[in-house]
Structure 1
Amino acid sequence: MPRFARWTAAVAAALLITGCGSGSSGSGTDDDGKGRSGAPVSAPRQAEGPGLPASLTGQKLKWSRCKGASVPGGDWLCATLKAPLDWSKPDGDTIGLALIRSKATGDQRIGSLLFNFGGPGGSGIATMPSYASAVSTLHERYDLVSWDPRGVGRSEGVRCRSDRAIQAAESIDATPDDAAEEKAYLDDAVDFGRGCAKAAGKLIAHVSTTDTARDMDLMRQVLGDRTMHYFGISYGTELGGVYAHLFPQNVGRMVLDAVVDPTADSLGHAKNQTRGFQRALDNYLASTGQDPRQGSRKIAAMLKRIDAKPLPTSSGRKLTQTLALTGIVLPLYSKESWPILTSALKAAQNGNGSELLRLADEYNDRDALGHYGTTTHSQRVISCLDEKQRPTAGQVRRLLPEFERISPVFGDYLGWDTVGWCHDWPVAGQVDHAEVSAPGAAPVLLVGNTGDPATPYEGARKMADGLGKGVGVELTWKGEGHGAYGSGSACVDSTVNGYLLDGTVPKDGEICA
């Protein structure tokens, strides 16, 4: 079972945000190396780090109609960018990164606007076209561009185990209660990691956030933009922060929505999410007239009953405790889904697990035929390469009371998740936490939502402080759900649009009620 993603396809429509900064805009090009007006543009800046060969920086993308039933044709074109497998050896082996683009619809083009929808593991190829209507105003002046990051989807996407093996693992208790369950949980984690290593090969050591940030700057150069205009959501905010740290002089207009706390290690992220989801659950319970503390205890008791005796469902599968918890999580990503949660909880309390199982399947990207998507496989491969901290079962057992004090519903699961997620992983993690300091970069707009469950609101301030004085600019929305832009706040949307289109930087600390 995956940790609670910082992105999920089912609620992605509520997460949208775009990225830009202040000051001069980039001057992106068409395929012939000239601007939309036909005037030559200045050469893009060279990326930091090892010198890049002309075979990379000078490559011409061959845009053509996207192939595959999941990607529409029309104005959306796809291409493959060649990038180094190992960024420390830019003259070595390469991998192909799948890009998707729709050109600006108006005449006053600013440049390319690069989107990352989070995860890690979210596919930009699959997601970008569905967001065009939500960002139609931005589309007038920007080419909308996204991609499948390395290890994701069409960019050498990793599948660590079969559909049959994934479903079989549903019986594994992700909150083990005894030595036998703990052994089964950790053995399953080892098996998953081995499957990832076999599927990914050499790539498993080269899918870090830093690797992808360097890929982004190569995209910037090949697309012909002097600066990087970027739209980062959820995990995409961490990626944006790392990019700003590596290439502060190349930051253009950058907006980060649903901001990850860059100071947190793996245990810190788990505690943050425990607080965030409990806060969202409290807000949900209060909205239904329940006392949050009593309501949480009632749900926790129900989950314990399900742990002892899984609930029947109309599909014939059993609703386990872990699947039930996953089903509860999904509707908390969007306030509009709260009524669905009410119905599913009522049915489960009455002994029917069908509704919670449907929600869990949606979260886990399982279709009616039992086929699973690979987003969580890519998420695990990327995050385990990033995360240096690997807590042991003994350490977490000692910390479980703290997790459970934070949340009687989510604490036990998210505590154990820090052990099982990267247990005995085939490659070592790289960093304790993301490095985002970006002195000299253009202002970066950070949008925090006070009710965000997956990336709690406090992360926006931590990111602002991490980026540095005069760089991080915080905008607060007093709302619910994961992300703020496009979630119903005219104040947020107009502020972000003004920044992206006109370069108008709001006052740090501005609040949208």
Structure 2
Amino acid sequence: MTRFPRGAALAAAVLLIAGCSGGDDEAGDGKASASSLASQKLDWGRCKATPEGPAPGGDWQCATLKVPLNYTNPDDGTIGLALIRSKATGDDDERLGSLLFNFGGPGGSGVSTLPSYAGLTSELHERYDLVSWDPRGVAESEGVRCRSDKEIQAGESVDATPDDTAEEAAFFKDAADFGAGCEKAAGKLLSHVSTAETARDMDLMRQVLGDEKMHYFGISYGTELGGVYAHLFPRNVGRLVLDAVVDPTADTVGHAKNQSVGFQRALDNYLKSTGQDPEEGTRKIEDLLERIDAEPLATTSGRELTQTLATTGIVLPLYSEQSWPTLTSALDAAEDGDGTELLALADGYNERDPSGRYGTTTHSQRVISCLDQKERPTPEETKKLLPEFREISPVFGEFLGWDTAGWCHDWPVAGLTDSPDVSASGAEPVLVVGNTGDPATPYEGARKMAEELGEGVGVVLTWKGEGHGAYGSGSDCVDSTVNSYLLDGTVPKDDKVCT
């Protein structure tokens, strides 16, 4: 069972090429408060290869930051967070400090992603040290692996849109088993991977890096994290960019409805681009998925393409307009009875390599989001919502509707909040960038984020484009506006529109 990421982790998974080592600290090792840890010195050194990829070359350096496992109880000890940086390339007297990146998920590895993203930020790199990290519970920072590769592949056979009582029982058993695996793997860390704790890690990081203010670039889920940071530390906010913005007012069901809207909107736009009527094209895809549900498609690998995997495969290319031709090819092949291309797309989403090894981004995503989200819809409540989900999106609605009950079903720890508080009275202006065609974080979220940040804080920049995120997606208007804000402190007029 898989939730569509509220972040750039999905797109970044395709780009994961590098990493570095985190610490060897076990959760709870050591004893220190946040105030005492603020004086620690980072031992920057050569990055090492990780399961996500080889070590990056060039000027990339890695280090481990010690943070409290539990900010309210120093006796619980510390954990190590893996950091990566590349120092500013320009003159020292023009350096602005560190620019911290979070690429979303939750659960995306910043250590692995930043080197591949840095090419888009060369102008920023002249005056900023580019910095990212693996948040607590992610990859090299006490990353959680909830099940084996064999168990993950077996789980892919579970129907994420159950059609009868047997499939429903299997769906919820798989969800409960996943949670039990996470509890066994993470132990007491499972209760300390919240977004609020990660925001506190960020402020500790700011102090250790020697920055008076937090300069930050958050993408998708990274916008939620940035908003929570601004709420907790409004006086420490420097220049914050939030791109591909999560609706901070949405609860579990609200997020699922938002994504149903966003992915159906993106699918409609894709269908229009191929000369199809969106309603007719949607019905054709619905019919294809129903046939696959009844009889999975064969592939050249010998594995079967199930309805769940096919839906996942359709999702991936909607994250980028440049990938739409790939979707056309995969759908055409599936109509001809060959599921190979859609399965390859699903494998890309699920971080499955040709050898059958899976990444763990979705594991970290789940442990973080299930701790953050208090709402736990029951199976009965979800079933009542399914007609509304189907109405919103005939292709993705039922998948996302069932997910509201299955994602955190029988989870070992209780969720913390219905929705995050991002009000940031007193903070400097925060640039909120929304893309009207964004599938994973629909444009409406940018408006909600700006409103919740507060008057005079949230400043909206709109791009009339396609795909997940706006910066670096081909708009000179967006890129120059963001760069001017980050480099010169130039705040654009609220509601500026880039076409």
| TM-score for both structures, normalised by structure 1 | 0.92
Q: For 2:34 and 2:113, how far apart are their aligned partners in 1?
A: 32
Q: For 1:191 and 1:220, how far apart are their aligned partners in 2?
A: 38
1:151-170 maps to which residues of 2 (within 5 A)? 151-170=137-156
CA distance 1:53–1:354, change in 2 (3 Å): closer
Q: Deviations over 1:167-219 (max 9, x none)?
A: 11111000001111000000000000000000001100000000100000000
| Partner-residue secondary structure (3-state), 1:255 | strand
The structure 2 residue matched to 1:57, chosen from 38, 46, 49, is 38
1:181-260 maps to which residues of 2 (within 5 A)? 181-260=167-246
CA positional deviation for 1:487: 0.2
Does the CA-based 8 Å contact 1:171-1:320 persist in structure 2?
yes
* Pair 1:365 & 2:389 matched: no
Alignment correspondent of 2:462: 476
Q: For 2:136 and 2:114, how far apart are their aligned partners in 1?
A: 17
Q: For 1:496 and 1:427, how far apart are their aligned partners in 2?
A: 39
Superposed CA RMSD in Å reads: 1.3
Alignment correspondent of 1:11: 11
1:308-457 maps to which residues of 2 (within 5 A)? 308-457=294-443
Q: For 1:6 and 1:60, how far apart are their aligned partners in 2?
A: 33
* Structure with larger RCO (C-alpha < 8 A, sep 6+): 1
Q: Deviations over 1:267-286 (max 9, x none)?
A: 00000000000000000001
CA distance 1:9–1:390, change in 2 (3 Å): closer
CA positional deviation for 1:6: 2.2
Query: 1:309 corresponds to which letter in structure 2?
Result: E
The structure 2 residue matched to 1:281, chosen from 253, 267, 271, is 267
| Partner-residue secondary structure (3-state), 1:394 | helix
Alignment correspondent of 2:476: 490
Alignment correspondent of 1:32: none
Query: 1:148 corresponds to which letter in structure 2?
Result: D
Q: For 2:122 and 2:34, how far apart are their aligned partners in 1?
A: 37
Q: For 1:259 and 1:104, how far apart are their aligned partners in 2?
A: 27
1:81-100 maps to which residues of 2 (within 5 A)? 81-90=65-74, 92-100=76-84
Query: 1:478 corresponds to which letter in structure 2?
Result: K
Alignment correspondent of 1:18: none
Structure 2 spans left out of the alignment, 5+ residues: 16-31
Does the CA-based 8 Å contact 1:14-1:334 persist in structure 2?
no
Does the CA-based 8 Å contact 2:434-2:463 persist in structure 1?
yes
CA positional deviation for 1:71: 2.5
Q: Deviations over 1:410-461 (max 9, x none)?
A: 0110000011100000000000001100000000000000000000000000
Alignment correspondent of 1:307: 293
Q: Runs in 1 of length 4+ with deviation above 4 angstroms?
A: 51-54
Alignment correspondent of 1:103: 87
| Partner-residue secondary structure (3-state), 2:218 | strand
1:66-77 maps to which residues of 2 (within 5 A)? 66-68=47-49, 70-77=54-61
Q: Deviations over 1:270-310 (max 9, x none)?
A: 00000000000000001111110111011011101101110
Does the CA-based 8 Å contact 2:246-2:441 persist in structure 1?
yes
| TM-score for both structures, normalised by structure 2 | 0.94
Query: 1:328 corresponds to which letter in structure 2?
Result: I
CA distance 1:90–1:508, change in 2 (3 Å): farther
CA positional deviation for 1:61: 0.4
Q: For 1:357 and 1:54, how far apart are their aligned partners in 2?
A: 49
Q: For 1:226 and 1:494, how far apart are their aligned partners in 2?
A: 25
Does the CA-based 8 Å contact 2:423-2:453 persist in structure 1?
yes
Q: For 1:238 and 1:10, how far apart are their aligned partners in 2?
A: 17
Does the CA-based 8 Å contact 1:14-1:482 persist in structure 2?
no
Q: For 1:501 and 1:441, how far apart are their aligned partners in 2?
A: 18
1:129-148 maps to which residues of 2 (within 5 A)? 129-148=115-134
| Partner-residue secondary structure (3-state), 1:115 | strand
Structure 1 spans left out of the alignment, 5+ residues: 16-50
Does the CA-based 8 Å contact 2:8-2:468 persist in structure 1?
no
The total of aligned residue pairs comes to: 478
CA positional deviation for 1:7: 3.1
Query: 2:138 corresponds to which letter in structure 1?
Result: V
Q: For 2:394 and 2:333, how far apart are their aligned partners in 1?
A: 21
Q: For 1:8 and 1:430, how far apart are their aligned partners in 2?
A: 24
Does the CA-based 8 Å contact 2:34-2:67 persist in structure 1?
no
